[in-house]
A and B are shown apart, each in its own frame.
Chain A
Amino acid sequence: MLGFILRRVSLVIPTFFGVTLLAFSLIHLIPGDPVETLSGERGMDPARRERLLHEFGLDRPLPVQYADYVWQVLHGDLGTSLTTHEPVMKEFLILFPATIELALCAMLLSVLVGLPAGVLAAVKRNSVADYAVMGVSLTGYSMPIFWWALLLILFFSVQLGWTPVSGRIAVEFDVPATTGFLLIDAIRSGEPGALRSALSHLILPSIALGTIPLAVIARMTRSSMLEVLREDYVRTARAKGVSRLRVIVVHALRNALIPVITVIGLQVGLLLSGAILTETIFSWPGVGNWLIHGVLSRDYPVVQGGILLVATIVITVNLVVDLLYGVVNPRIRHG
């Protein structure tokens, strides 16, 4: 087991350095250099420019600059935002819980709905229910989520007035951010209505963000279940007189879950992609929103640091899924 873990971890390290190289080259591929960006339209006299270049270490050879960059990254220093003059790492850590909260709720929703829907479609193959589930999930899979989010707002917030249009909580609540997860903070604050307000702000973004993973999970569950339901042991179980429900849930679903879990793990990247759009539309104060503002305002340290951090998260989650998979399935561990 230890050998397996070490093997997998050692595979990830070059990828991580590749990502730092990518983030590093981002700054150097942009036309012009940071000093030029600082000087703005007016230009700068050559002596001052030289001094600033030296100050930023930009006059040194590229490999030295890269080594320096990696050194700083490994110490958690991702530079300072050009717009807020705050450390990038600090800003990220403040905003990240909001994104996790949204992503977790979206994931929960997509698993809770997608899994049963996929099982239903597989068990009632070629029925109306099957076609309905597959039709809806194909549509969900093809959905431009920024448009879907707008439709949700238009219907539930504007027409029906059930949910707020944007933000994380109504302005009248002043919940102290102890954990950064607003649902937890709202419960801890003990303010009546705070949790309700936080939940009502969370529901539409979660639906918007969860739609594509939901569709993917439903499709994957269906095809995986169909495969397992054909197995001999399922027929044996039925022949032995085990109830239909028990066969489906205990015998079939458990074995059908392995590929589904992998797919769920792969959705993390997708969720973070989707979070960029969802957060922009719902003005959700998370990492996605922050990154887009960084790109639009040419705040390169934010873009560079944000990309590095998001990629690191995706790499780490994939590694964990990989390791868990090895725990569940010994064939992989020894392969």
Chain B
Amino acid sequence: MADPPRRPRDSGDPVSLATAPAIAVETTLGPGVRRDDAPLTPSPLREFWSDFSQNRGAVAGLSMVIGLILIAIFAAFVAPHSPIEQFREATLTPPVWQDGGTARFILGTDPLGRDILSRLIHGSRLSLLIGLISVTLSLALGVALGLLAGFFRGMTEIFIMRLMDVMLSLPSLLLAIAVVAILGPGLINAMYAIAIVLLPHYVRLTRAAVIGETGKEYVAAAKIAGAGPLRLMFNTVLPNCMAPLIVQATLGFSTAILDAAALGFLGLGAQPPTPEWGSMLADALEFIQRASWVVTWPGLAILITVLAFNLMGDGLRDALDPRLKR
């Protein structure tokens, strides 16, 4: 816990440098830090929350995301039926408020007689998991490559950044499809594909932030104090590059969920009987005229989830981006 004091990311002017370290240490270390020089400015975390909570859309997005996470965690308790149990006597039952609907299947059943609500609830697990795994994978690799490019410059940088340019020249879904073409269709491979699609954004952001930070005095100070390259990279510079990465990661969730659903829809992602929202849509396509509810609900679930992450991401960006403050 003996890190050199960090400079808060949002103080661009050198004047605030004097008071800054105490603030940063306090929030990152939590309780037990000295409070004798209590800061006059609110702590960054509190300041962030007050900015974030002013944005009603952002708070709505956050609540929706928390709600989704709770539904996903407690899916087995919330869902009225099993997501794969087929009620053969009740295929294509309409939702409860339509003629012929029953309270047993609130949102109706699919062509195989599976309860749509239960499948949607279990599907939320998959969508969040896809988002979490592909964003984490991509972020870890992207930050590592971005740090390498930003620190070592020269040939390393040229090689990494050219590679990212190549990846960016492919439309995202096409790149994902190319990866799936190599690895073969399936949920896990779809996650890898999406992680690769997201990668260039994290690499570029990290590299740009690292290059912006390395010229600053606190990095020189850490270097003089004898910090090695790894310590400089991960302990000194990286924490100060986090703001854009957090925003991008949140927005990455929505891209991941959307692309995974698109891959599922095209038959290249999750395979039946997995209750993944995109593949649920694809399975129901031929029944669209007879039973519109089989396509309405999964799409709505995707839309709401993606919207929630986008709202939250926009709010985070506004709250974390110092340029937009005041």
Binding site for B on A (CB under 8 A): 14-15, 18-19, 21-22, 26, 29-30, 138-139, 141-144, 146-148, 150-151, 153-154, 158, 269-270, 272-274, 276-277, 280, 291-292, 295-296, 300, 303, 307, 310-311, 314-315, 318
Contacts and interface: CB of A to CB of B under 8 A. Distances in A.
Contacts of B170: 19, 22, 269, 307, 310-311, 314
21 contacts: A14-B162, A15-B162, A15-B166, A26-B182, A138-B310, A139-B303, A142-B254, A142-B307, A143-B303, A144-B278, A144-B302, A144-B306, A146-B281, A150-B288, A154-B289, A269-B169, A270-B171, A273-B171, A295-B180, A314-B169, A318-B169
Contact of B265 (A146, A291, A307, A314): A146
A272 B165 contact: no
Kindly state the interface size class of chain B when it binds its partner.
Answer: 35 or more
From A26, A143, A150, A318, residue with most partner B Cβ within 10 Å = A150
Nearest to B182: A29
Contacts of B169: 15, 19, 269, 311, 314-315, 318
Contact of B295 (A138, A147, A307, A315): A147
Contacts of A280: 266
B186 interface: no
A56 to B, nearest CB: 19
A150 B300 CA distance: 12
Nearest to A153: B288
Given A18-B162, A318-B169, A277 B266 contact: yes
A315 to B, nearest CB: 5
Contacts of B306: 142-144
B303 A142 contact: yes
Contact of A150 (B165, B177, B262, B281): B281
A147 B303 contact: yes
A147 B177 contact: no
Nearest to A141: B310
B261 interface: yes
B181 interface: yes
A37 to B, nearest CB: 13
B305 to A, nearest CB: 9
A141 B171 CA distance: 16
A144 B178 contact: no
A144 B303 contact: yes
Interface of B: 57, 162-163, 165-166, 169-174, 177-178, 180-182, 254, 258, 261-262, 265-268, 278, 281, 285, 288-289, 292, 295-296, 298-299, 302-303, 306-307, 310-311, 314
B181 A147 contact: no
A191 to B, nearest CB: 30
A228 to B, nearest CB: 16
Contact of A273 (B166, B172, B314): B172
A270 B171 CA distance: 6
Contacts of B311: 138
B166 A291 contact: no
B177 A292 contact: yes
B173 A276 contact: yes
Contacts of B163: 18
B266 A154 contact: no
A154 B290 CA distance: 10
A139 B268 CA distance: 26
A153 B299 CA distance: 14
Contacts of B265: 144, 146, 277
Contact of A144 (B172, B258, B268): B258
Residue of A273, A277, A314 with most partner-chain B CB within 10 A: A273
Contacts of A291: 174, 177
Given A15-B162, A19-B166, A147-B303, 9 more contacts: A29-B182, A141-B310, A146-B261, A147-B302, A150-B281, A151-B299, A274-B173, A292-B177, A295-B268
B273 to A, nearest CB: 20
A307 B262 contact: no
A240 B303 CA distance: 47
A305 to B, nearest CB: 12
Nearest to A139: B307
